[in-house]
Amino acid sequence: MSKHILILGGGYGGLLSALSAREHLSAEEATITVVNRFPTHQIITELHRLAVGNLSEKAVALPLEKLLRGKDINLEIGTVETISPDEKRVVLSNGKSFDYSALVVALGSETAFFGIPGLQEHSFTLKSVNDANKIRQHVEDCIESYSKTKNKADATFVVGGGGLTGIELVGELADMLPGLCRSKGVDFNEVELYCVEAAPSILMGFAPELIERATTSLSKRGVKFLTGVAITEMQESTVSLKDGSTIETNTLVWTGGVQGNSVVANCGIEVNRGRATVSEFLQSTSHPDVFVAGDSAVVFPAGAERPFPPTAQLAWQMGETIGYNLFAHFNGAPMDSFTPVFSGTLGSLGRKDAIGSIGANQTRLKGLPASLMKEASNIRYLSHIKGLFALAY
Ligand code: NAD
C-alpha cells in the first residue's frame, strides 16, 4: 500500500528531505506532502543582505511550487498548529488535518527572547524574508523621519547580540547607512550604530584573530561595540542595559539567540531543551516514524557533550540522510547514520569583508578570500538544489 510522507517545513531540512525521499521512493510507493507557512523556500543565510536592500527578494525567496514542479510532491501552504505523534496526525491553523505513515519535522527554530521585558513587543527579528523587508523599510523611514525632525532615536540603530546573525547584519547596516543618509540629506556622522553583546566578546568561540578582525573592520565603519553588557529591557524607544545605562532608539534588532520550535517542543515527542532528541539515523528517540531535520532536532556528535550548531549546512545534510532513511524505514533496509561534513563557518562583515575558518584544520580566512568562499558556499547550495529541482527563477 502506498505510504504518505508528511514533511513539515520547506526550509533547508524539509526541502532536501522531500527531494531526496522522492529520489529513493517512486510516486506509487509514497505520496509526499510538504507543508510550509510561506509559498517560498527562503535562503535565510542571506537575510542580512535583503534587510538592507543589497539583494533582491527573488534571490532569497524561491517559489516552492517551482522547486517542486514535476516531482510528484504535494505542496500545502499553512502553519502547523499541532502535531499528535501518537495519533499520527498534524493539524494546520487553517483547520486542515493530515495523517501520515512517516513524518519529517523540519520546522526550524524560533527567536529566543529569554523573558526580557518588552523585547518581543518592541524589537525586530531577522528570521524570514518578511522580517528582512520590515527592517529595510523601517530603517529607511527612520532616516527619512530624522531628516525632518532630528529626533535622535530615529538616527540610532541597535543590534542586540553579537553572534553571527548580529554581526552579519551590523556589517550590512554599516555599509548601507552612509548612502541612505546621503540620499536623504542626513550627515552620517549623526547616526549611531551599536552592537550590544552580553558576553565579554562578540563572536564567542571564534579564534581571537578573527574576532579582532571583525571588531576593527566594523569599528572603522562606525559600529560601536558594547560588550560584556546585556540588554535587560526594551521599552518603546529605550533599550536598558545591565550596567544601568540606556540607549534611546526606535530600532532594536534582536539577534540574541534561537530556541527550538515551540510546536515541536510541546507535541509529545522526546525533546531536550525544546529540540527533538534523535538517533544517529535522525529518528525521534520516542517515535520511530518521526524523523527530524535541521534546528528542530538536537544532534550530538559521537561522545561529545555539545550538540552540533544549528546551521543551514547541517540542516541540508540532515534532509538528505532522512530522504534515504525514509526509504530504508519502509523497506526494512539498514538506515544511514548521520555523518555531517563540515565545510567550515564563514561570516560576512558587510559587502567587502568577511571572516571564516574552513576545512579539517580550521584554516582561518579574512577579507576577500573569506568573502569569495562565503559567496561560493551560497552558489554551491543554489546549484545543488537547481540540479535537483531544475530551478527556474
Ligand atoms: P547566537 O546564539 O549564536 O548569538 C546570540 C548572541 O547574543 C550571543 O553572543 C549572546 O551572548 C548574545 N546575547 C544573548 N542575550 C543577550 C542580551 N540579553 N543582551 C545582549 N546580548 C545577548 O545566535 P545567532 O547569531 O542567531 O546564531 C544562531 C546559530 O546560527 C549559530 O549556531 C550560528 O553559528 C548560526 N549562524 C551561522 C551563520 C553563518 O554561518 N554565516 C550566520 C548566522 C547564524
Of 375, 386, 377, the closest CA to residue 359 belongs to 377
Is residue 46 exposed (0-12), middle (13-18) or buried (19+ Cβ within 10 Å)?
Answer: buried
Q: CA 264 from chain center: how many Å? A: 17
Pocket test of ligand 1: the residue of 12, 126, 164, 313 to mutate, having most ligand atoms within 8 Å of its CB, is 164
Q: How far apart are CA 156 and CA 150, in angstroms?
A: 11
Residue 265's pLDDT is what?
95
Asked if residue 166 has its Cβ within 6 Å of ligand 1, the reply is: yes
**Ligand 1: which residue has its CA nearest to atom 29?**
310
DSSP structure class, residue 111 = E
Q: How far is the CA of 94 from the centre of ligand 1 (A)?
A: 33
Using CB atoms within 10 Å of the CB of residue 37, give its burial: 0 to 12 exposed, 13 to 18 middle, 19+ buried. middle
User: Exactly one of 46, 110, 168, 197 is catalytic; which is it?
Assistant: 168
How many helices and strands (H and E) does the chain possess? Answer: 11, 25
| Cβ of 310 less than 6 Å from ligand 1 | yes
Q: Is the CB of 108 within 6 Å of ligand 1? A: no
State the pLDDT at residue 388. 59
Structure-block grid coordinates of residue 157? 540603530
CA distance 325 to 335: 5
Q: What is the DSSP letter of 107?
A: -
Distance CA 49, CA 125 (A): 14
Query: Please, what sign has the CA dihedral across residues 16, 19, 24, 30?
Result: positive
Say yes or no: CB of residue 230 within 6 Å of ligand 1: yes
Distance from the Cα of residue 69 to its chain's centroid: 25
Which atom of ligand 1 is least distant from the CA of 348? Answer: 41
d(CA 351, CA 380): 19
pLDDT of residue 391: 42
What does the DSSP 8-state code read for residue 251?
E
47 lines ligand 1 (CB under 6 A): no
What pLDDT sits at residue 134?
98
Q: Give yes or no for a contact between 115 and 125, defined as CB atoms under 8 angstroms apart.
A: no
| DSSP notation for 314-359 | HHHHHHHHHHHHHHHHHHTPPPPP------EEEEE-SSS-EEEEET
Rg (alpha carbons) of the chain, rounded to whole number = 22
CA 76 – CA 143 distance, rounded (Å): 40
Q: What pLDDT does 306 receive?
A: 86
Check if 76 is active-site.
Answer: no
Mutation to probe ligand 1, out of 197, 240, 295 (largest number of atoms < 8 A from CB): 197
Task: Give the pairing type, strands 251-254 and 156-160.
Answer: parallel
Instruction: Give one DSSP letter per residue of 196-209, joined into a string.
Output: EESSSSSSTTS-HH
219-256 tens-digit pLDDT: 999 999 999 999 999 999 999 999 999 999 999 999 99
The H or E element containing residue 267 is none
What is residue 13's three-state secondary structure? helix
DSSP state of 295: G
- 23 Cα: distance to centroid of ligand 1 (angstroms): 35
pLDDT digits (tens, 9 = 90+) for 140-183: 999 999 999 999 999 999 999 999 999 999 999 999 999 999 99
Distance, in Å, from the CA atom of 296 to the CA atom of 320, rounded to the nearest integer, reads 16
Pairing of the two strands 89-92 and 97-99 = antiparallel
240 lines ligand 1 (CB under 6 A): no
pLDDT in the model for residue 280: 94
Quick check: CB of 197 below 6 Å from ligand 1? yes
Among the listed residues 246, 242, 197, 198, the one whose alpha carbon sits nearest the alpha carbon of residue 218: 197
Instruction: Specify whether the backbone of 361 is left (phi greater than 0), alpha (psi in -120 to 50) or beta.
Output: alpha
- Residues of the chain with pLDDT below 70 are 387-393
Which one, of 180, 38, 21, lies nearest residue 102 by Cα? 21
Q: Whose CA is nearest to atom 17 of ligand 1?
A: 230
